[in-house]
A = this chain, B = another copy of it.
Amino acid sequence: MVDQAGIFEKLKDTPLFHKIGYEDFLKMMDCWNAQVKTYLPDETITRSGEADYDFEIVVEGGAFVYQESYFGVRTLLRAKGRGESTTIGTEEFLDDGMHYVIVANGQTMTLVFDGKKVLGACEHPCPFHTQMLANMVVVLRRAHYRMFEHLVHVSKRTTRAKLLSYLSTCQQASHASKFETPFNRQQMADYLCVDRSAMCSELSKMKKAGLIDYDGRWFKIIEHPAEDRLA
């Protein structure tokens, strides 16, 4: 059994709890009807349509979020890492028309709030309530933008265009002409939704064509490609 202080310790450094102190946390636990739940590995935590108004945060362990098709075929959307604490709920809870399943990744402990209270207008607004909502907005915006970047890259029709779109973004983020990618080749191929070997081959061609230069994870974009390849 873990006490409230123990739970707070595991959450306090996450972006969602930015500027939330222990006293705020205690009030929150009371005000939002917090409940601690534990799950066995692979146990279903929740699915769309059930308890849509709960707001559940991973305290310990982790969770997988799957999209579920009409026929029950699942596609892995996101992994909530063990010990990463935050926000199953911040990004997925409380909406209609979503079809997902959330499954525990190993032994998992969560904190469940009453979502109606979280998103409802308080008669006696508390500072922590406003702060938590502001934190949620920040966390959501970041995730939203990352996903949009991803979609922009994947939307390109050819492997070359996908690579240029992605590498251009990396270069921008690095603020330098030479930059290092966080992915190895397989991960980069998965991220861009192309075949790894085909991607390697395309990288070779681009190097020979003088478009880019690279060595391992270090890349450099040399020439400005025709606009229509990037657009």
| Chain A contact residues, CB within 8 Å of chain B | 19, 67, 69-71, 73-75, 77, 90-95, 97-99, 118-122, 125-127, 129-131, 133-134, 136-138, 140-145, 147-152, 154-157, 165, 168-169, 171-173, 193, 221, 224, 227, 230-231
Contact = CB atoms under 8 A, between A and B. Distances in A.
A188 to B, nearest CB: 14
Contact of A69 (B95, B98, B147, B165): B165
Q: Which of A141, A156, A224 has the most CB of B within 10 A?
A: A141
A131 B122 CA distance: 8
Given A71-B168, A133-B134, A168-B69, A154 B151 contact: yes
A92 B145 contact: yes
A230 to B, nearest CB: 5
23 contacts: A67-B149, A69-B165, A69-B172, A70-B171, A71-B168, A73-B231, A74-B231, A75-B165, A75-B230, A90-B137, A92-B145, A93-B141, A97-B173, A120-B134, A121-B131, A122-B127, A125-B125, A125-B127, A133-B133, A140-B144, A143-B144, A144-B147, A147-B147
A220 B227 CA distance: 40
A142 B73 CA distance: 22
Nearest to A224: B71
B154 A95 contact: no
Contact of A144 (B91, B130, B131, B138): B91
Given A77-B148, A133-B137, 15 more contacts: A67-B149, A69-B169, A70-B172, A71-B224, A73-B231, A95-B142, A99-B169, A118-B134, A119-B138, A121-B127, A121-B130, A129-B130, A133-B133, A147-B151, A154-B193
B154 A75 contact: no
Nearest to A154: B154
A134 B154 contact: no
Nearest to A126: B125
Contacts of A129: 125, 130
A118 B141 CA distance: 14
Contacts of A193: 154-157
Contact of A227 (B73, B119, B142, B230): B73
